[in-house]
Chain A
Amino acid sequence: MTFGGWLTFILSAGSVTVLFGWCLWRVITSKRGVEDESSEGIDIYEIQNIPKKRK
């Protein structure tokens, strides 16, 4: 494999490993997401015949 080949491989594999590692770290260390104000104003659609979900 040429130097360019190694560079391509290391950049490709390295970037997906870093991305995956960062995501996994955030998932493990973050507290559960909570509904925030940004969701307000969105119509929370309700189907009338599902009483459990009715607000």
Chain B
Amino acid sequence: MKGERWNSRLGVILAVAGSAVGLGNFLKFPGQVAMYGGAAFMIAYVLSFFLVGIPISIAEWTMGRHGGANGFNSPPGILGFFCGSKKMAYVGITGAVLTVLIYCYYIYIEAWCLGYAYNFAAGALDFRTLEESGGFFSDFIGAAGNGEAFGIGVDKVLIFLVIAFFLNFWMIYRGVSRGIELFCKYAMPTLIVLAILIVARMMTLSNVSPEHPERSINQGLGFMWNPVKVVLEEDCGGEWREVRQLVGNDEINREMERIKTAPDSDQRERIRSISVAQQLMNPSIWIAAAGQVFFSLTVGFGAIMTYASYLKRGDDIVLSSLTSCSANEFCEVCLGGMITVPAAVAFFGVSGAIGAGLSLFDLGFKVLPLFFVSMPLGGFFGFLFFFLLFLAAVTSSLSMLQPSLAFIEEATGLRRRFSTLLLGLLTFFITGFVVYFSKGLKAMDTLDFWMGQVAIYVFAMIQIIAFSWHFGVGKGIRLANAGSIIKLPAFCGFILKYITPTVLLAVFATWFAKDVMGLLGSGKLSPYISDLVGADGKPPNAVALMTMAIVVAMFAFFALILSSSKRYDKLGRRKK
């Protein structure tokens, strides 16, 4: 909608912070810290924050405000305008397509959170074992077979999906200030208060597992944050392999005693300490930390530049960018880092928690529900936790819709009512496809990999190169500083021009070579590639192929809209 603006500085900061604070803060970050060791991971994490996260964020804010001040609010418009080229507007379509496609599966997960919050509030959840918890989750999301998610009832995801879907569209229909800003202004403080309440409850829990007095929240915190990792290793044909991590003097002494007393055990098993420096030699820790910062801050999506385009020409961006990034870090480190993994370890013990899974879905939707069910007042705190996740997810999903909505309006001149309807229909069918093919979450996984990982990396690199090399880092910094309350120091130019693109490229190349093409490490081709081309005598996966067809169709549709719009024709012939 023409002339839309944020109502207040705090409003836009909360909206951008809201787009960044999501499920990853509460479910993925703690698992990563635990897996890679507290201090070592945090060193890599903090460096990545300042060398990758903040610079890309500032570049996005700068490009967004500049584009918005000149009448462009969508990633294609902003990037095209910033680079003075219609071809770059076509490249910018990536920002609109990837956000809307990520929305189409993210809304599905958002509905899980709402469904779990409702079921906890209604007292409908009662598990005794991890298998029961996992069984409920599988039934709820329809993972057993395609179409299974479409059942009606509060034990199925569909009704919650409809509610979440309409809530998102109602907010974006209301507009930037009356919808997104208003929602985030209430949701973000609520989310932080809820998280603090849950953290306070966690820290005062005692005797979580009466039959295992050694298991405690303190042990869980130690598992996450202890800088020196102590691991039990076993000899596998001359090569030592890590069996599990040991936490706490009791457990270490017990294992040492066991190894000493067991016949020949000292030759097959050993206990080894891994220092912070040794941990930092592992390249995986750097990839994980940079990836966590990058995805957590929602930089590279095109969402921040769209939000920043609703600022006025003289509005602050440097401090706003830093504030929204630090708000995300506060939620991630101080709140997210205190809830999930300590709870899982206190309940299952270290090996039990690792066995149950430290991945986002395992931790969030199988392990924690069982923990809440088992603790006093668990229904209440379970409801608070999943409602918190739901709020965090909504503030993120709103930012995923706005870039494509802005693009449709900008390119076609459609009024808000019709642009919302068009986007609603598009996302309705694609979300329906994702939810229908719920068996093994194949459609969701495929979209997440190609859009939520590969496309974001590529688009972030395009943005930082456009900002630092095409536009010119000196001009970019002066533009960022214009109107800003705090100024970027001169050395930021060096970081923006050389360090950030290099780190981003190195992380992407290593990840692509190692985890996607299998050129390093395991030597296995990523299943996402073999799904598309077939491997080991298996034909390509039909659902994965259909998902990619949707991706291509979305790119083609948005490119068609752009090519038929006269709005971008003069981008290459602007007056300088």
A: residues with CB less than 8 A from B are 1-2, 4-9, 11-13, 15-17, 19-20, 23-24, 26-28, 30, 32-36, 38-39, 41-50, 52-53
Contacts of B35 in A (CB 8 A): none
Q: How far is the CA of A4 from the CA of B327 in the complex (A)?
A: 26
Contacts of B330 in A (CB 8 A): 16-17, 20
Contacts of A44 in B (CB 8 A): 70
Contacts of B374 in A (CB 8 A): none
Establish whether residues A26 and B486, one from each chain, have CB atoms under 8 Å apart when the complex forms: yes
Q: Kindly provide the distance from the CB of B471 to the nearest chain A CB, expressed in whole angstroms.
A: 10
Taking the complex as formed, is B484 at the interface, i.e. its CB lies under 8 A from any CB of chain A?
yes
| A-B contact list, 14 entries, CB within 8 Å | A1-B222, A15-B46, A17-B334, A23-B319, A27-B485, A33-B314, A33-B485, A35-B314, A39-B483, A42-B482, A45-B575, A47-B570, A47-B574, A48-B574
Contacts of B212 in A (CB 8 A): none
Inter-chain residue pair count (beta carbon < 8 A): 145
Establish whether residues B483 and A16, one from each chain, have CB atoms under 8 Å apart when the complex forms: no
Establish whether residues B221 and A5, one from each chain, have CB atoms under 8 Å apart when the complex forms: yes
Contacts of A9 in B (CB 8 A): 38, 221, 224-225, 337
Binds A, one of B113-121, B130-138, B473-481: B473-481
B: residues with CB less than 8 A from A are 9-10, 13, 38-39, 42, 46, 66, 69-71, 81, 84, 218-219, 221-222, 224-228, 313-316, 319-320, 322-323, 326-327, 329-330, 332-334, 337, 475, 478-479, 481-487, 570-571, 574-576
Establish whether residues B333 and A16, one from each chain, have CB atoms under 8 Å apart when the complex forms: yes
Q: Kindly provide the distance from the CB of A51 to the nearest chain B CB, expressed in whole angstroms.
A: 10
Contact of A33 among B81, B315, B479, B575 (CB under 8 A): B315
Contact of A8 among B38, B319, B327 (CB under 8 A): B38
Q: How far is the CA of A33 from the CA of B131 in the complex (A)?
A: 56
Establish whether residues A41 and B39, one from each chain, have CB atoms under 8 Å apart when the complex forms: no
Interface centre among B225, B313, B337 (most CB of A within 10 A): B225
Establish whether residues A42 and B479, one from each chain, have CB atoms under 8 Å apart when the complex forms: yes
Output the nearest chain B residue to A37 by Cβ-Cβ distance.
B482
Output the nearest chain A residue to B314 by Cβ-Cβ distance.
A35
Q: How far is the CA of A40 from the CA of B479 in the complex (A)?
A: 9
- State the main secondary structure of chain B at its contact with A: helix
Q: Kindly provide the distance from the CB of A35 to the nearest chain B CB, expressed in whole angstroms.
A: 4
Q: How far is the CA of A16 from the CA of B69 in the complex (A)?
A: 32
Contacts of A13 in B (CB 8 A): 333-334, 337
Q: How far is the CA of A42 from the CA of B474 in the complex (A)?
A: 10
Contact of A27 among B13, B337, B575 (CB under 8 A): B13
Contact of B329 among A8, A16, A30 (CB under 8 A): A16
Contact of B314 among A26, A27, A34 (CB under 8 A): A34
Establish whether residues B10 and A28, one from each chain, have CB atoms under 8 Å apart when the complex forms: yes
Contacts of A26 in B (CB 8 A): 319, 323, 485-486
Contact of A43 among B38, B224, B576 (CB under 8 A): B576
Contacts of B483 in A (CB 8 A): 33-36, 39
Which A-B residue pairs are the 6 nearest by beta carbons? A39-B482, A1-B222, A33-B316, A23-B323, A5-B226, A20-B326
Contact of B222 among A5, A16, A24, A27 (CB under 8 A): A5
Q: Kindly provide the distance from the CB of B217 to the nearest chain A CB, expressed in whole angstroms.
A: 9
Output the nearest chain B residue to A50 by Cβ-Cβ distance.
B71
Establish whether residues B329 and A20, one from each chain, have CB atoms under 8 Å apart when the complex forms: yes
Contact of B323 among A1, A20, A52, A53 (CB under 8 A): A20
Establish whether residues A47 and B221, one from each chain, have CB atoms under 8 Å apart when the complex forms: no
Contacts of B221 in A (CB 8 A): 1, 5, 9
Known interface pairs A4-B226, A38-B478, A46-B574; A52-B313 also in contact (CB < 8 Å): no
Q: Kindly provide the distance from the CB of A20 to the nearest chain B CB, expressed in whole angstroms.
A: 4
Contacts of A23 in B (CB 8 A): 319, 322-323, 326-327
Establish whether residues A53 and B69, one from each chain, have CB atoms under 8 Å apart when the complex forms: yes
Establish whether residues B570 and A49, one from each chain, have CB atoms under 8 Å apart when the complex forms: yes
Q: How far is the CA of A32 from the CA of B483 in the complex (A)?
A: 8
5 extra A-B contacts, CB within 8 A, seeds A19-B326, A35-B314: A11-B42, A17-B330, A28-B10, A30-B485, A45-B66
Output the nearest chain B residue to A26 by Cβ-Cβ distance.
B319
Q: How far is the CA of A4 from the CA of B39 in the complex (A)?
A: 9
Q: Kindly provide the distance from the CB of A46 to the nearest chain B CB, expressed in whole angstroms.
A: 6
Q: Kindly provide the distance from the CB of A11 to the nearest chain B CB, expressed in whole angstroms.
A: 8
Q: How far is the CA of A42 from the CA of B505 in the complex (A)?
A: 29
Q: How far is the CA of A27 from the CA of B70 in the complex (A)?
A: 25
